[in-house]
Amino acid sequence: MPTNFENHISARFPFLENKKLFLAVSGGLDSMVLLHLFQQLSYEIAVLHCNFQLRGLESLGDQDFIRNYCKENNISIFTTQFDTEAFAKDYKLSTQIAARELRYNWFYELLETHSFDYILTAHHADDNLETFIINLSRGTGLNGLVGIPEQNDKIIRPLLPFSREEILKYAKENNIQWREDSSNASDKYLRNKIRHDLIPVLKQINPNFLKAFQKTQSYLQESNEMAEDASIMIYQQVAKEAGEEIHFDLNQLKKLPNYRSYLYEWLNEFGFLAWNDIYDLVDGQSGKQVFSAEFRLLKNRETLILSPIAEVSEKQEFEINENDHEVNFPLNLKLCNVSHITIESNKIIFVDAEKIQFPLILRKWKEGDSFQPFGMNGKSKKISKLFKDEKLSLIEKENSWLLCSKDQIVWVVGIRQDERFKIEKTTKKILKIELQ
Amino acid sequence: MPTNFENHISARFPFLENKKLFLAVSGGLDSMVLLHLFQQLSYEIAVLHCNFQLRGLESLGDQDFIRNYCKENNISIFTTQFDTEAFAKDYKLSTQIAARELRYNWFYELLETHSFDYILTAHHADDNLETFIINLSRGTGLNGLVGIPEQNDKIIRPLLPFSREEILKYAKENNIQWREDSSNASDKYLRNKIRHDLIPVLKQINPNFLKAFQKTQSYLQESNEMAEDASIMIYQQVAKEAGEEIHFDLNQLKKLPNYRSYLYEWLNEFGFLAWNDIYDLVDGQSGKQVFSAEFRLLKNRETLILSPIAEVSEKQEFEINENDHEVNFPLNLKLCNVSHITIESNKIIFVDAEKIQFPLILRKWKEGDSFQPFGMNGKSKKISKLFKDEKLSLIEKENSWLLCSKDQIVWVVGIRQDERFKIEKTTKKILKIELQ
């Protein structure tokens, strides 16, 4: 007679039939039940076991235990060892998150190299409840309460609707051997406290607590998805992606009484921490900025501009030689000799080739730079004044390049040409320079 | 020296200054602290006290206690008594919800009649936590976890950031007298269990649990508002309100993988309970319906149509007499004699007044009804066939009216006139009937 477990698996995951399945097995109660179950169901399975080397000999014992089991039962097994502590230290992760990272990376790698279809893990209902309470106890957002899903991508958790109690019962009825689960070692004390002191009280209040909790989590998941929908829809209304930048229209955004929630959603992944500063930016002075390690957020009139922090040093200069017809860094420029002037635009200039001196130089502007703007009869103008007149944002200023001949500015690239290098009646050789 | 409480109140609610404030006081610890606090702060206050008559003499004792206190301290007081149990029974509410309903209704009434500005209640941080856990234990959605807000509309809860412990400390330091709070009587056992067996464990796990929890609730509130934003935005995209009906465009809606969540949000308030039937409707046959007590949801091709269940019985008939120039129920019709035919439209017919017999009758169609459609040379057609050809939805069919002269149909109102009553060369008296 098929068990509850078997019925659930075939009803909920009919698509697993004839698929090749990896089972993640630590050797603990839950994963040994998972393994036993899938042996009965006669799918094509192989076992994956990670040794995280967190408990020395005990970890090795787990590995031996599961290896022997697979040998006796004629099941393929893949094992690996991780230096979890070192990885955690290198990437500044908690041991637990490091272990998870290593484990899933390895799983996906094997999935690909061995052409398997899915990875099954032994998470159950109490895992989700314990994680909920741990996150709640520390303070969390909705994401911390929704629980791990039954399936995401290639990972399937067929035991998720079942309680630890049901799994233990199955193990006893089927004489399953297991070793104490080592994967939760780092928060074992906490989970035990929750398991023994907290969850029993909840079950006294409502004997069907675990079922009610599963419903709660599915409702929370629905709300979470709706909140994500809103985040995407509002983003599409107020954000414009421009190259590497994202421009947020504050006039639009501020119509929403809860716009801070949206800013948080959008900017969170860019590593910002100073949220109050960011919220202040919305009504702050034009020109103010907030930084994360790799990004900057600039208030520019009625726009917030998110951009990566430029990697080119302000002092770097780039030479262009006489036989260069193309420049690809830090800008894309094309240079060629032409016989006459064609279209003019901000992106193209024509200069008298005999007036310039190679190598031309591309550099950022600095305070005090000035030039003689084309069409102003040789009157000099400060670059800073030009930028102000052109209403350039701080980021646009910083991203601007000057094309220079010795110490004279030939072109404020893409903005204004210099008078001194322009084509005249006497010009013999015309150089066309085009910004791509 | 101002206390934490006083600082919080003046910083968080500066707009209360010079306002007239009602304090909801049960006589229990929390509300007596609230009262004492606002006496110190010298606002213009008056006390509101409800006797819910749930604990007999004890309730009367509470009332006397707070009356005496107000007399001694020269504070205005308003009291009222409710037959809470009877109200709960009448409206099929839990005692607690009935009490809340009665209380807030009375509060708002007094606010208006006495021109006060705000009502202050003594809810504190532990109240929110206990409610969270009660709802969690029973199973809940996000709404059950977000907590009561610091302010909604005219209700302000100035003690919400403070714990029961802090409030107790204040009471002891200020020698405040109180009576055991009677308002939570009905779930007192439950709250005590949570207070003594559950929350201490959470505080062992994290000594700052209550503060972390307040942050959690504010994050959840943010997510909740975003989910509500999404619900409104998607509604605007897929729903069209047409008179008393709402039409949901399924082609649009089904593009969303989580459309069920939205249907639930929108239809919940209309009293539907059979959610699986509703979800099945989306891909179900045209013509299928699901009912709540007062509403129906009909699948009509690629639309779900929500409409109130008609209150007019199918068998009712309405007479129109010769000197009636207007009909206002169940339809709006205008009747007048005219000298010639003007515009024709679905909403207007012209009939030969001598061919009809008053009283005309308005009635719903029934199976077997047939008539002679205008322009079909006296050929007879079943009304059911006409409706089918006109592609009327089930609701449209049910909402259709027939205007009859004796047992002959003069007009399928708004749809098609009968041939037999049309104007001819010999017509002497023209009656114009117009649907408004």
Task: Judge whether B159 lies within some domain.
Answer: yes
**How do residues B220-239 score in pLDDT, each as one tens digit?**
999 999 999 999 999 999 99
Alpha carbons B313 and B258: distance in angstroms, whole number: 38
CATH of the domain at B282: 3.30.465
In DSSP terms, A381 is beta-bridged to: A371
Q: What is the mean pLDDT of residues B326-348?
A: 82
* Domain final position from A257, A291, A308: A308
| Residue A224 touches partner B, C-beta closer than 8 Å | yes
Q: Which residues contact B216 (CB under 8 A, 6 or more apart)?
A: A136, A139, A140, A141
Q: Are B272 and B292 in contact (CB under 8 A)?
A: yes
Q: How many other C-beta atoms are found inside a 10 Å radius of the C-beta of residue A50?
A: 25
Residues B161 and B201 in one domain: yes
- What residue in A sits closest to B211 (Cα-Cα)? A139
Does pLDDT of B187 surpass 90? no
**How do residues B75-94 score in pLDDT, each as one tens digit?**
999 999 999 989 888 887 88
Enumerate residues 118 to 177 of chain A having a beta carbon within 8 A of any beta carbon in chain B: 133-134, 136-142, 145
Q: Which of A217, A219, A264 to mutate to test the interface with B (most CBs of B within 10 A)?
A: A219
Structure confidence at residue A189 (pLDDT)? 80
Is A286 annotated among the ligand-binding residues? no
Cα A246 to Cα A234, A249, A251, A275, A298: the distances in Å are: 14, 10, 15, 18, 11
Q: How confident is the model at residue B7 (pLDDT cuts 50, 70, 90)?
A: confident
Share of chain B above pLDDT 70, in %: 96
Structure confidence at residue A184 (pLDDT)? 52
| Residue A223 touches partner B, C-beta closer than 8 Å | yes
Structure confidence at residue B96 (pLDDT)? 82
Task: Judge whether A217 lies within some domain.
Answer: no
Enumerate residues 6 to 25 of chain B having a beta carbon within 8 A of any beta carbon in chain A: none
Residues A121 and A269 in one domain: no
Residues A35 and A168 in one domain: yes
List the single residue in A205, A223, A230 with the smallest CB-CB distance to B233.
Answer: A230
Alpha carbons A305 and B185: distance in angstroms, whole number: 55
Domains of chain B: total: 3
Q: Which residues contact A63 (CB under 8 A, 6 or more apart)?
A: A27, A49, A51, A79
Residues B302 and B367 in one domain: no
- Which residues of B are less than 8 Å from A216 in CB distance? 136, 139-141
Q: Which residues contact A414 (CB under 8 A, 6 or more apart)?
A: A346, A347, A400, A435
List the single residue in B205, B220, B261 with the smallest CB-CB distance to A190.
Answer: B205
Hunting for tokens 């039962």 — which residue is that? A73
DSSP of A112-160, one letter per residue? HHTT--EEE----HHHHHHHHHHHHHH---GGGTS---SEETTEE-TTT
E strand intervals along A30-112: 44-51, 76-81
Q: Which of A131, A187, A214, A226 to mutate to test the interface with B (most CBs of B within 10 A)?
A: A226
Structure confidence at residue A210 (pLDDT)? 93
Q: How confident is the model at residue B3 (pLDDT cuts 50, 70, 90)?
A: confident
Structure confidence at residue A50 (pLDDT)? 94
Size of interface A-B (CB pairs under 8 A): 129
List the single residue in B138, B211, B229 with the smallest CB-CB distance to A212.
Answer: B138
Q: How many other C-beta atoms are found inside a 10 Å radius of the C-beta of residue B391?
A: 9
Structure confidence at residue B186 (pLDDT)? 52
**How do residues A180-193 score in pLDDT, each as one tens digit?**
765 455 567 888 89
CATH of the domain at A18: 3.40.50.620
* Domain final position from B247, B279, B308: B308
Alpha carbons A393 and A288: distance in angstroms, whole number: 11
According to DSSP, the β-strands at A303-308 and A317-320 are: unpaired
Alpha carbons A156 and A160: distance in angstroms, whole number: 9
Q: Which residue ranges of B make up the annotated binding site for ATP?
A: 26-31
* Domain final position from B147, B180, B205: B205
Does pLDDT of B375 surpass 90? no
Q: What is the DSSP letter of A187?
A: G
3-state secondary structure of A329: coil
Residues A37 and A175 in one domain: yes
Does pLDDT of A5 surpass 90? no
Q: Which of B193, B198, B203, B229 to mutate to test the interface with A (most CBs of A within 10 A)?
A: B229
CB contact under 8 A, A216 and B136: yes
Task: Judge whether B215 lies within some domain.
Answer: no
Share of chain B above pLDDT 90, in %: 63
CB contact under 8 A, B201 and A193: yes
Residues B304 and B390 in one domain: no
Domain that holds residue B342: 317-435
Does pLDDT of A336 surpass 70? yes
Name the maximum alpha-carbon separation found in chain B: 101
Task: Judge whether A9 lies within some domain.
Answer: yes
Does pLDDT of A310 surpass 80? no
**The two three-digit tokens of residue B418, written as one number:** 């009968």
Residue-wise burial string across B6-37, b where 16 or more C-beta atoms lie within 10 A, e elsewhere: eebbeeebeebeeeebbbbbbbbbbbbbbbbb
Residues B429 and B293 in one domain: no
Residues B191 and B263 in one domain: no
CB contact under 8 A, A139 and B215: yes
Residue B304 has, within 13 A of its CA and on its CB side, a CA count of 29
DSSP of B63-116, one letter per residue? HHHHHHHHHHHT-EEEEEE--HHHHHHHTT--HHHHHHHHHHHHHHHHHHHTT-
3-state secondary structure of A44: strand
| Residue A196 touches partner B, C-beta closer than 8 Å | no
| Residue B216 touches partner A, C-beta closer than 8 Å | yes
Structure confidence at residue A311 (pLDDT)? 62
Q: What are phi and psi of A109, to 5 degrees?
A: -65, -50
| pLDDT mean across residues, chain A | 90
Q: What is the mean pLDDT of residues A137-147?
A: 94
| Residue A106 touches partner B, C-beta closer than 8 Å | no
Pick from A398, A396, A243: nearest CA to A311: A398
CB contact under 8 A, A140 and B219: yes
Residues A201 and A321 in one domain: no
Residues B194 and B109 in one domain: yes
Alpha carbons B35 and B55: distance in angstroms, whole number: 23
Is A110 annotated among the ligand-binding residues? no
CB contact under 8 A, B141 and A216: yes
CB contact under 8 A, A256 and B229: yes
List the single residue in A138, A198, A227 with the smallest CB-CB distance to B226.
Answer: A227
| Residue B233 touches partner A, C-beta closer than 8 Å | yes
What separation, in Å, do the N-terminal and C-terminal C-alpha atoms of chain B show?
72
| Residue A289 touches partner B, C-beta closer than 8 Å | no
Alpha carbons B182 and B66: distance in angstroms, whole number: 13
Q: Are B286 and B299 in contact (CB under 8 A)?
A: yes
Who wins on pLDDT, A90 or B208?
B208
Q: How confident is the model at residue A377 (pLDDT cuts 50, 70, 90)?
A: confident
CATH of the domain at A355: 3.50.40.10
Residues A260 and A400 in one domain: no
**The two three-digit tokens of residue A177, written as one number:** 């051997």
**How do residues A10-65 score in pLDDT, each as one tens digit?**
889 989 988 999 999 999 999 999 999 999 887 899 999 999 888 888 889 999 99
Task: Judge whether A236 lies within some domain.
Answer: no
Q: Are A365 and A383 in contact (CB under 8 A)?
A: yes
Is A261 annotated among the ligand-binding residues? no
Q: Which of B135, B142, B215 to mutate to test the interface with A (most CBs of A within 10 A)?
A: B142
CB contact under 8 A, B223 and A139: no
**How do residues B401-422 score in pLDDT, each as one tens digit?**
999 999 899 999 999 999 999 9
Task: Judge whether B97 lies within some domain.
Answer: yes
User: How close does chain A come to B198, measured CA to CA in Å?
Assistant: 6
Structure confidence at residue A181 (pLDDT)? 62
CB contact under 8 A, A205 and B226: no
Q: What is the mean pLDDT of residues A394-409?
A: 89
**How do residues B47-66 score in pLDDT, each as one tens digit?**
999 998 888 888 899 999 99
Q: Are A169 and B104 in contact (CB under 8 A)?
A: no
Who wins on pLDDT, A4 or A372?
A372
Task: Judge whether A224 lies within some domain.
Answer: no
Q: What is the mean pLDDT of residues A318-323?
A: 87
Q: What is the mean pLDDT of residues B242-261?
A: 94
Residues A258 and A196 in one domain: no
CB contact under 8 A, A229 and B256: yes
The interface predicted TM-score of the complex, written ipTM, equals: 0.71
| pLDDT mean across residues, chain B | 90
Task: Judge whether B335 lies within some domain.
Answer: yes
List the single residue in B202, B215, B261 with the smallest CB-CB distance to A222.
Answer: B261
